Structure 1
């Protein structure tokens, strides 16, 4: 009887479908997994080859072609196909398809070691190769002439297709830097230091003279005897670098310099060549960053020709995008401006006449994608639907008619086909890890190319619940967007500690309608450990318009803190939040915000982590610091009010401050000054240093960093 009863229950148990218990992420998986096992499937390196084909890289070694008319896919080239011809030409082998581009539908361009190579996929032959010095940096290739510009140390070189090498500059003083992408501290959208003319017969380049800028000491402790590394670091209100623009003529071998209209400390941004190559344009901004002149120069003599237009603002003017010339009307160009309070496009002619404002409204144009073939319409990415999303819009040049082309909610990235009849749409949202569709330029979906699985769910990992919403800012009217991540085993009847993750500064947006809500897996790991993780984009952050962002002017941190406290008040209203266990964490501007909140609202936050924090804005650099704070001489009250040194005595909760010991962005003097003030006030601060790391802790050491942060909150907040 008992035996039959046992068999009966055994059969019942066996007949119930097995439910695998969900796995929890390890710290290493949460730190490194977004780029590995948890990265949604993609068509890596996806590019248009011609009007009816695009290509992508599979397994890093196969180049796959997709026919948009038939849907057929085939591998058209492998790394092995290339390496035999490379060996015949004594060119280093290609290990992977890291980057590539199509010079024509038959010719592929790629880099291997110190060679630029063009390869015909039909003949399987190298059509062009150009080597350059192994120590070269700042590479800039001109596709028409097949010349390449590069720097060695601080000097500019040009190698032409025939192998001729010209040393353009010959400065031996390390205080003079030529053709570097690190000019004006890479503010104003600057990411390169050389600018080829359309024909490729001339090249403009930045010449930065920083001999007058103070030397700042960093110490390399990896040497047997620690070595001094000095950098040039122009602090707010101090002597800054002086930048000029040279133009080298490859045909004459001569260099001349632009004769700038403004002062020696002006910022020279958004260098643009006229389609005729006769003129060069520069957006010149005064050091106070409240007056921009868009100037035209003779490219042959360097002589100032005219100021096409000016922009002024009592707070700041910040040009961030290059001019876009029209091909059908080469005397007209598009210009991005925030002059009406939101970033929009304006049409000018080369005489400086404003022809029309092309886009308008309480939203941001984030990117110019291109014109159609006849330049009757243009395409842009916009926040019109929501500040949390990016969508593709088409505008008619004459009528201004606006057409939304991407329909699904989320954050979209698009690429137009060469004939501008189709585009690929790669997007994600809260519930979609990645989706790639092919559409025509009327917005009609032709086919789905990829629908990626949820890589976390597919591997049976638990992931905390994410929700988003809005709260009112401290001004009582402005909506602020937040993201909240709850533990995977959330129980509304319990009380949970909260970690407020904050950045809060300009040029950053933490909350977006994208996969994982715009954050990484570490926030989900913290939720897995029993925390609610909360983020709100306060006033002062990006993509909400000038009024929203400029509330910080001359008082960094003040309005931002008020908005963050509104976020805390919302948290405290929730029945499942433990109001006595609220922490805060942030890095860089976020480190400044975390420390500001811990010391200005010491009874609110029990624990905090501040990484690479600005502590006093007088220790920060000229270009960014003076835009938002003016100089210490002009705004002593603002600098005194925002300095956290005087606030160290207010600290009550546990604060962990973290810094890389060779940080060239937020120098270590910031956190050490706070540590000294805390010591003087007999206040305890925990301090961690990451040797040989700069402004962030990257690579394998980031696992250690996240372990430290997680453990700190487990020790003092949980």
Structure 2
């Protein structure tokens, strides 16, 4: 009788819990496709300190609240209003300038912020509420940058570089009309850490800029369909093994109006990267990398004569050298240099005569960034992967002896922003379970005040969150992955799997951060009854040179082997239907998707490849030759990575997507592969997105993700 009563009670409790869970589940709202695609960084962005910044030369940090810029003293915690959107618009109206709807101020000095409206950049003294300077934005101009004294704005229009002052007086720094000559813009297709084409000197007197001659580079045709009769839109696209562009660095003197070209020498097909001025403006430092990308010379040039003054040091590799960061001067004669010469990205201290003072950081971990240098106390603050390749922690490193002090400890991803006096820093932290936590620390590592602890932005929505997994290959290499299950996951059922892949250099899809690096649409797809899985294979970043460079000259080989480690894990899970595994990726991930469909055709049932590289001889010089050398030097590697050679292997369903104006992975990749499928009598699906470049942005992205999901729904 007692046993019977206990059974009844357990049954009642079970029914109660089941009903409660059903009610909770019913109360949760499902995401719309639009929310899943567009909402991750808008509607569902975790709360934070908007427009956060440290005010220069102070212990005050600032952020926006309700369109008002607030200042908080880190020492006293006192809060004050600095200025509001209404006040800024009032000042703009008195100037006859256009009002702004969004207020995003940028500090340029202790009293001055910069804002932008639709027609000008405006500099405002926030203490006295008056105008410091206003620069009208010339029609068609790009690449705006300001001298430190706020006297000049540099910008480009078309292929030429210009200056304008606050009164509207304009100077044409260059006047090239020959097609293929480009000034003041990013070069080398944004490789080697290059993001811009102009470099103001510390005082603002001199402007260094790139001059690129790409007139000898083959013109590649893209078709513009917006005209009644479609027109050809030519781009300069240097393919691997073919003629590349030639770049020089020039220096313009705003006082004399003279231009000097640095004598960077022969051969002209080389890469000029990591450009920086000496603090005294007498010299310019450049990492000069050969076209083979295996020999770098760090050179100093006289900024006024253009002459080479000294090669400070050289770096060589049997694979490749990839300088990504300019020197960081800590005094007039000493600078910090980041290098992977010992197999891991670390900091080295050099004198300007080229002598190595010491290697400051060491170990089997990577320095991710230098956050600042406390010159008074001789401490370098860094973000690094010392605790784990999928974590980022903040550290202080003493210049004197290299001793390292960890300043953040919670497992996950930290971003540290330091005050000018280096007494304080603000830590923005997230993890796989924490959306965003903002804390004020002192630089001894003591937590002073919790400023914000964001709640789950998906509260009330039916959104499954990812879990992190750690795997090992048969040869003992550790891999990190993430897995997303439906919110109504039932371990007794069998689920199909979609593997989301990238797998290429400079990527890391799996991190101990909010959402684990996943896209919200992956959670949306999981709720349709799928398992979503991602693994970072060898070739990806933050794991050291050996882990990354194993792919050299054989793209797609080791990456595929490593992805199959993930598949082996998936097949070991009792709730995975091993006969229904799909794969999706874009760009290098598109290359990997097709590689997996053709070279592991018994494993993958459905693939959706976007913007795929299909034949590396069609890809550009800088990236392609770094990882594959030239087709002439590595014919076997190019042959093995040419997906046209494997079209007859296809067993499952494959959808290839490309953009008609793709200037990164040109449409020829997909079109030539399709031609091979046709000739082999193998059916494959194809879709082209008109008027998009490399990937589909904006509202049209909803259409793209809908198409990807529908394909898996139809065939997986």
For 1:77, the equivalent position in structure 2 comes to 83
> Does the residue aligned with 2:27 lie in a helix, a strand or coil?
coil
1:189 Cα deviation (Å)? 0.5
Q: Separation in 2 of the partners of 1:191 and 1:464? A: 36
Equivalent runs, 1:83-482 vs 2, <5 Å: 83-98=89-104, 100-161=105-166, 163-181=168-186, 183-327=187-331, 330-457=332-459, 460-473=460-473, 476-482=475-481
> Does the residue aligned with 1:46 lie in a helix, a strand or coil?
strand
> Does the residue aligned with 1:40 lie in a helix, a strand or coil?
coil
Decide whether the 8 Å contact of 1:373 with 1:420 is kept in 2.
Answer: no
> Does the residue aligned with 1:235 lie in a helix, a strand or coil?
coil
1:35-58 Cα offsets, whole Å, 9 max, x none, are 222111111110112533211123
Q: Separation in 1 of the partners of 2:311 and 2:591? A: 39
1:163 Cα deviation (Å)? 4.4
1:477 Cα deviation (Å)? 1.3
1:459-494 Cα offsets, whole Å, 9 max, x none, are x112225221211235x1110101011111111111
Decide whether the 8 Å contact of 1:393 with 1:405 is kept in 2.
Answer: yes
> Does the residue aligned with 2:705 lie in a helix, a strand or coil?
helix
1:205-248 Cα offsets, whole Å, 9 max, x none, are 10110000001000111222212100000000000000011111
Decide whether the 8 Å contact of 2:276 with 2:285 is kept in 1.
Answer: yes
> Does the residue aligned with 2:569 lie in a helix, a strand or coil?
helix
Q: Separation in 2 of the partners of 1:243 and 1:465? A: 47
Q: TM-score, normalised by structure 1?
A: 0.95
> Does the residue aligned with 1:292 lie in a helix, a strand or coil?
strand
Q: Separation in 1 of the partners of 2:301 and 2:607? A: 52
1:298-318 Cα offsets, whole Å, 9 max, x none, are 111101111100000000000
For 1:691, the equivalent position in structure 2 comes to 690
1:375 Cα deviation (Å)? 4.9
Q: Separation in 2 of the partners of 1:477 and 1:349? A: 41
> Does the residue aligned with 1:672 lie in a helix, a strand or coil?
helix
Decide whether the 8 Å contact of 2:160 with 2:175 is kept in 1.
Answer: yes
- Runs of 4+ aligned residues of structure 1 deviating over 4 Å after TM superposition are 16-20
For 2:702, the equivalent position in structure 1 comes to 703
> Does the residue aligned with 2:39 lie in a helix, a strand or coil?
helix
> Does the residue aligned with 1:455 lie in a helix, a strand or coil?
coil
> Does the residue aligned with 2:222 lie in a helix, a strand or coil?
strand
Q: Which runs of 5+ in 1 are unaligned?
A: 1-12
1:111 Cα deviation (Å)? 2.1
Q: Separation in 1 of the partners of 2:341 and 2:667? A: 37
Q: Which runs of 5+ in 2 are unaligned?
A: 1-15
1:3-45 Cα offsets, whole Å, 9 max, x none, are xxxxxxxxxx9xx997462222121111011122211111111
For 1:9, the equivalent position in structure 2 comes to none
Decide whether the 8 Å contact of 1:473 with 1:538 is kept in 2.
Answer: no
For 1:649, the equivalent position in structure 2 comes to 648
For 2:617, the equivalent position in structure 1 comes to 618
1:373 Cα deviation (Å)? 4.3
> Does the residue aligned with 2:40 lie in a helix, a strand or coil?
helix
For 1:64, the equivalent position in structure 2 comes to 70
Q: Separation in 2 of the partners of 1:23 and 1:88? A: 48
Q: Aligned residues, how many?
A: 695
For 2:31, the equivalent position in structure 1 comes to 25
Q: Separation in 2 of the partners of 1:491 and 1:28? A: 27
